[in-house]
Amino acid sequence: MPIASLAMYVSPAPLKDATRQFWEALADRLRAVGVDAPTALQEDMRYDEAWLRPDLLFGQTCGYPYVQRLRGQVQLVATPVYGLPGCDGPLKCSFIIVNAKSAARSIEDLRGARAAINDPGSNSGYNLFRASVAPHAIDGRFFSSVLQTGGHVASIDAVSSGVADIAAIDCVTFGNTLRFDPDRVAGVRILAETKKGPGLPFITAASTPAKDLVLLRRVLAEAIADPALAEICDTLSLRGISLLGDSDYEALAALDRDAAGQGYPTIA
């Protein structure tokens, strides 16, 4: 039996419930057109463990690991369109945040500050962040220290509590947190926006037949547009899909190369 994994946007709690409900509805529709779809999401593995599984029918990855190591090993299904501030169709930015009491008015004001990153493999928390900081770095450095938190929510908490001074938060995560857990972001404010890049693509295994890929795209678009799923999709801020290709994600690899060309290959 193929597996499905949707673990990128599952907090706060209402999102996890809505994600489960969305998949159950999508799986029913897929089975109705002949696609062997699991009834439940795979929730007992890390978010990234499903990406290279040969039995992956439907998953979601980040654009940066896609261009770094998943190209040619998975197939792009579609890029979701979210209706949250910072999103522009399938493109999205990160919000660079500081403590609500910070006097900083620009990134330059944070020279020598303590940065928080969620993970070096993250587009929103690392690649886009690095692109914003690179022009200000001197001899490959800008910050006094870099804390790896393991997740965007933990980065928000680090800045809010004063453990770190600055972080870059995926605009979808920030928007979802503001909607469903507003107290968590009450202690931070948005200092700047990063450049926009293609968002987190839905993927399927390289071995998924072409006919199933066509059906995945069609049924996914139909499900999001179905009035019966409007409440679920509204909770997820899911507005539609865009069929981006590998060349569209090359922009994220270009940001990686540009930062290295400016002498800032690593956030430091």
pLDDT (tens digit per residue) in 171-202: 999 999 999 999 999 999 999 999 999 999 99
- Give the H or E element holding residue 127: none
Q: Flag whether pLDDT at 45 surpasses 90.
A: no
Range of the domain at 68: 3-84+198-253
Q: Flag whether pLDDT at 51 surpasses 90.
A: yes
Q: Which residues contact 168 (CB under 8 A, 6 or more apart)?
A: 94, 95, 96, 97, 117, 124, 125, 126, 128, 129, 132, 155, 194
In terms of domains, do 170 and 223 share one?
no
Q: Flag whether pLDDT at 74 surpasses 90.
A: yes
In-domain check, residue 259: no
In-domain check, residue 182: yes
- Give the H or E element holding residue 205: strand 202-205
Question: Where residue 190 sits, what CATH number does that domain have?
Answer: 3.40.190.10
CA distance 162 to 29: 47
Say what the pLDDT of residue 166 is: 98
Q: Flag whether pLDDT at 107 surpasses 90.
A: yes
In-domain check, residue 258: no
